[in-house]
Amino acid sequence: MLYACQDRYGDVFTLRLAHEGTWVILADPEAVKQVFTGDPRVLHAGEGNQILEPFLGRNSLLVLDEKPHMSQRRLLLPPFHGERMQAYGEAMAEIAIREIERWPTATPYELRPRMQAITLDIILRTVFGVEDERRMGELRDALRDFLDLGTNPRMLLPVLLIGPRRVRGIGPVRRRLDRVDGLIRREIAGRRGAADLERREDILSLLVAARHEDGSPMADEEIRDELLTLLVAGHETTATSLAWAVERLARHPEKLGRLRAEAEAGEDDAYLTATIQETLRLRPVISIVLRRLTEPVEIAGHELPAGVSVAPSIYLVHRNPEIYPDPQAFNPERFLDDPPGTYTWIPFGGGVRRCLGASFAQFEMAVVLRELVRRREIRPVDPKPERVFRRAITETPRHNARVVLS
């Protein structure tokens, strides 16, 4: 449909969606740049995410705008700096190897759920900082149950019927949230009293040590909201991107071979990096980002009124043949000499709302893919590409990246 609209109306067109209001889809990199560099007071992203508030809480970075958003983002940014990610590499590799070694060979196997197990454990270790097996197991179960709320149609229906505000009143929702909250509070309390707090590198410890501009520490409630936000924003997205990388590589044995040769030589990650960039270009797990206008704005020659949402289309920008020749082809080589452009490669959105975990996610994908291709040969069960299938908000491979490993 996006293609059909683009053919008919060009790079800027309007969709009017039931319950969502008016979306102006933008496929032109200049317009996308204008949105990503525009005034955050005029371009609200948090407003569009209100449905998440009952689950993630009122301090969640995802639901805030303007000053409250910027001050919360300032607290969360330092742990996500590029170099810091290196410290997490060992834990990530250990978790990935343990999973991969358990996967069956010589039989069709769906990798997306297994990638979810990997990314969940990585978040528990690096974000929540939990190492103890028993506590890890408790949190894993409670968080899985909580995350299932987002994809379980029996849960989504009541949200639509009674509205997100009252959703906490529903028994199964409340029970799950209470269990998660209890376990997270225990972790926060334990960390506040930890003797080794200053030496710890997990993100929870860094948040416990972080200070607002007035010097005050983050409240338990704030930390709780941000931990769940990082989980929800970072778990499914990264797992699905990994599943897509496998789905594409399995159908391109020559690219897989090149990647494996590089991983085995262990000198350089250029091809691995390009493979990840190309996967995120061709199969972005999130296809648009939204900003609601608080004032009238002119974008790409159109006067847009307050109240409409502008929506940079990750999907269409990534398939523009002028930017990406032969756009449907999976071709990591295209990024070897030409690094991705700020407004033409936008799987992580952009501007002051750009994905906080972008470096973390790409680093994590690199660690997991490297360990996988070093250990296993991968073939598709069906040579036809898997179709894009939408689950809640992410675009996933229809058959969960079904492959045969050997």
Contact segment (CB under 6 A) with ligand HEM among 24-32, 92-100, 189-197, 342-350 equals: 342-350
DSSP string covering 135-158: HHHHHHHHHHHHHHTTT-HHHHHH
Contact between 360 and ligand HEM by CB under 6 A: the answer reads: yes
Task: Tell which residue, 113, 111, 130, has the closest CA to residue 122.
Answer: 130
| The pairing of beta strand 297-299 with beta strand 302-304 | antiparallel
Both tokens of 76, joined, read 């969360």
As a whole number of angstroms, the distance between CA 399 and CA 384 comes to 11
Q: Which one of 26, 52, 210, 233 is in contact with ligand HEM (CB under 6 A)? A: 233
Terminal CA-CA length for the chain: 39
Q: Which one of 55, 244, 348, 363 is in contact with ligand HEM (CB under 6 A)? A: 348
DSSP string covering 35-91: HHTS-TTTEESGGGGGGGHHHH-TT-GGG--HHHHHHHHHHHSGGG-HHHHGGGHHH
Identify which of residues 259 and 286 has a Cβ nearer to ligand HEM in the complex: 286
Contact segment (CB under 6 A) with ligand HEM among 82-90, 129-137, 344-352, 377-385 equals: 344-352
Residue 235-264 contact track with ligand HEM, rule CB under 6 A, x = bound: --xx--x-----------------------
Return the residues of window 50-109 that contact ligand HEM according to CB under 6 A.
61-62, 73
Q: How many residues does the chain have?
A: 406
**In which residue are the tokens 């926060």 written?**
188
**What letter represents residue 23's amino acid?**
W
**DSSP tag of 347:** T
Minimum separation from the CB atom of position 169 to ligand HEM (A): 27
Task: Tell which residue, 326, 264, 271, 324, has the closest CA to residue 27.
Answer: 324
Contact segment (CB under 6 A) with ligand HEM among 154-162, 181-189, 228-236, 262-270 equals: 228-236
Task: Tell which residue, 167, 121, 111, 126, has the closest CA to residue 144.
Answer: 121
Return the residues of window 285-324 that contact ligand HEM according to CB under 6 A.
285-286, 289
Minimum separation from the CB atom of position 109 to ligand HEM (A): 22
Both tokens of 2, joined, read 């996006």
**What letter represents residue 86's amino acid?**
Q
Partners of 12 in the beta sheet? 26
Contact between 147 and ligand HEM by CB under 6 A: the answer reads: no
Size of the site for ligand HEM (CB under 6 A): 25
Q: Which one of 191, 281, 318, 353 is in contact with ligand HEM (CB under 6 A)? A: 353
As a whole number of angstroms, the distance between CA 402 and CA 250 comes to 10
Identify which of residues 61 and 118 has a Cβ nearer to ligand HEM in the complex: 61
Identify which of residues 233 and 304 has a Cβ nearer to ligand HEM in the complex: 233
Contact between 356 and ligand HEM by CB under 6 A: the answer reads: yes
Identify which of residues 12 and 289 has a Cβ nearer to ligand HEM in the complex: 289
Both tokens of 312, joined, read 């940079």
Both tokens of 59, joined, read 């301090």
Return the residues of window 12-51 that contact ligand HEM according to CB under 6 A.
45
Minimum separation from the CB atom of position 195 to ligand HEM (A): 27
Identify which of residues 6 and 241 has a Cβ nearer to ligand HEM in the complex: 241
Minimum separation from the CB atom of position 6 to ligand HEM (A): 20
Minimum separation from the CB atom of position 161 to ligand HEM (A): 28
Residues binding ligand HEM (CB under 6 A): 45, 61-62, 73, 229-230, 233-234, 237-238, 241, 285-286, 289, 347-350, 353-357, 360-361
